């Protein structure tokens, strides 16, 4: 059904700012106020409706996986079946030395990116919530008791994590309750990235005789990252990140697509994906923000038209300024007058509450950014 209203257009415009398209239409306020309430509702909500349609279209394109088809036609290979391609690393990050651009990350700790879930979902879940969101067990490593007990306790006493050592704890053994259970052990020796994967354990009983079940102390942060270097022939390398996991994910930019030809830029799919995500988020944000019943936004006029429709119905008579109640009050005797007065108070209170809420949210965001 096409929308046809007797409204002249004052201005029509479109713009493109840094790949962000926008369009606007200017209508005469007097002509808009003269429409029936139902017609005003359709005209006022047209902008928000188009934002919603655009967001649904962008979401559908992403959900249906059209991106994989497009990038394959452009010469890119989808590697999401087994990992994520490193597109860029923060220059000041220590990760840059160990993790080269073009490497394919295949595993984080005990979580393989190649699983039944889409790898980009696993990557996002791990980046935002950690391994517990994926149901990974808090397992330890079986280590030789004599070797573990011979390690110093320095970093455990100072609560510090050095680049090469971390504080590990061993499960308590009733026969040796006086033996210190915390040791400052070399991280790589425990994780054994260059040898056969060490036996994992949930308790000391899971390890062979003469071995301890050791695990990282709760206040220590270590993450093991297995990756295939650029031009790999099936071999994998391992790096150990010592520090909060969120810093690693902030420093590393990844993509699900790898170029099949050397002249294709590695960063192009990641840039397009980020831009696509920003446009989708901005479109939905504009849709929601523009519907708020605040001055100078469509939501305020939409609320006026809705109140006019509820109180007077969808008649074709002109309607005046809702806040002043000029036409409505003069043309609506009896019960409709107190309805308009109640609506004016309700609208004023709603706008004031929303304005205060926006100020509080802005101040809270500024406080968090400074603290």
235: which DSSP letter?
-
Q: For the segment 292-306, what is each residue's pLDDT rounded down to a tens digit?
A: 888 888 888 888 888
Give the residue-averaged pLDDT of 21-35. Answer: 74
Q: What is the pLDDT of residue 24?
A: 73
The Cα-based distances of 24 to 11, 50, 94, 211 in angstroms read 8, 11, 47, 72
Reduce the DSSP state of residue 254 to 3 states and report it.
strand
Closest CA to 78 of 257, 312, 255: 257
Share of the chain above pLDDT 90, in %: 13
Q: Which tens digits make up the pLDDT trace of 102-145?
A: 999 988 887 788 765 555 567 777 776 665 555 455 678 888 88
How many Cβ atoms are within 10 Å of 140's Cβ, its own excluded? Answer: 25
Mean pLDDT confidence for 29-42 = 77
**pLDDT range class, residue 327, cuts 50, 70, 90:** very low
pLDDT at site 4:
57
- Relative orientation angle of helices 46-63 and 66-73, to the nearest 10 degrees: 70
Q: What is the pTM of this model?
A: 0.70
What's the CA gap between 57 and 87, in Å, rounded? 27
Out of 14-18, 97-101, 367-371, give the one with best mean pLDDT: 97-101
pLDDT tier for residue 160 given thresholds of 50, 70 and 90: low
The side-by-side arrangement of strands in the sheet containing 200-201 is 182-186, 165-170, 211-216, 140-144, 200-201
CA angle 172, 222, 121 (to 5 degrees): 115
Q: Is the pLDDT of residue 1 over 80?
A: no
Q: pLDDT averaged over the chain?
A: 78
- For position 172, what pLDDT does the model report? 63
Characterize 276-313 residue by residue with b for buried, 16 or more Cβ atoms within 10 angstroms of its Cβ, and e for exposed.
eeebbeebbebbeebbbbbeebbbbbbbbbbbbbebbe
Q: How far is CA 173 from the centre of its chain?
A: 44
- Who has greater pLDDT, 231 or 278? 278
Return the pLDDT at 156: 80
Q: How is 93-148 classified by DSSP, letter by letter?
A: STHHHHS-TT-EEEEETTEESSSSS-HHHHHHHHHHH-GGGGT----EEEEEHHHH
- pLDDT, residue 185, reads 84
């Amino acid at each position: 059904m096409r929308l046809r209203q007797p409204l002249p257009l004052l201005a029509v415009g479109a713009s493109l700012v840094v790949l962000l398209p926008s369009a606007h239409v200017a209508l005469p306020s007097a002509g808009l106020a003269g429409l029936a309430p139902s017609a005003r509702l359709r005209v006022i909500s047209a902008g928000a409706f188009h934002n919603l349609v655009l967001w649904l279209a962008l979401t559908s394109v992403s959900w249906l996986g059209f991106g994989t088809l497009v990038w394959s036609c452009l010469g890119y290979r989808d590697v999401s079946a087994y990992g994520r391609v490193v597109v860029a690393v923060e220059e000041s990050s220590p990760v840059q030395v160990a993790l080269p651009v073009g490497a394919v990350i295949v595993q984080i700790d005990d979580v393989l990116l190649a699983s039944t879930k889409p790898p980009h979902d696993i990557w996002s879940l791990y980046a935002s919530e950690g391994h517990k969101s994926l149901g990974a067990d808090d397992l330890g490593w079986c280590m030789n008791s004599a070797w573990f007990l011979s390690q110093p306790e320095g970093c455990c006493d100072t609560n510090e994590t050095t680049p090469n050592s971390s504080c590990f704890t061993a499960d308590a053994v009733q026969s040796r309750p006086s033996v210190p259970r915390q040791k400052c052990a070399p991280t790589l020796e425990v994780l054994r990235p260059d040898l056969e994967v060490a036996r994992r354990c949930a308790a000391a009983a899971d390890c062979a005789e003469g071995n301890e079940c050791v695990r990282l102390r709760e206040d220590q942060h270590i993450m093991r990252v297995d990756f295939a270097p650029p031009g790999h022939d099936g071999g994998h390398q391992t790096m150990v990140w010592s520090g909060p996991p969120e810093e690693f994910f902030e420093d590393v930019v990844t993509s699900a697509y790898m170029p099949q030809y050397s002249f294709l830029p590695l960063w192009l799919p990641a840039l397009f994906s980020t831009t696509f995500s920003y446009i989708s988020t901005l479109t939905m944000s504009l849709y929601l923000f523009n519907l708020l019943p605040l001055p100078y936004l469509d939501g305020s006029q939409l609320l006026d038209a809705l109140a006019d429709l509820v109180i007077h119905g969808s008649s074709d008579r002109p309607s005046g300024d809702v806040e002043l109640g000029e036409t409505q009050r003069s043309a609506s005797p009896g019960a409709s007058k107190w309805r308009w007065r109640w609506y004016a108070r309700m609208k004023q209170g709603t706008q004031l509450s929303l304005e205060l809420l926006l100020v509080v949210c802005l101040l809270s965001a500024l406080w968090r950014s400074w603290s």
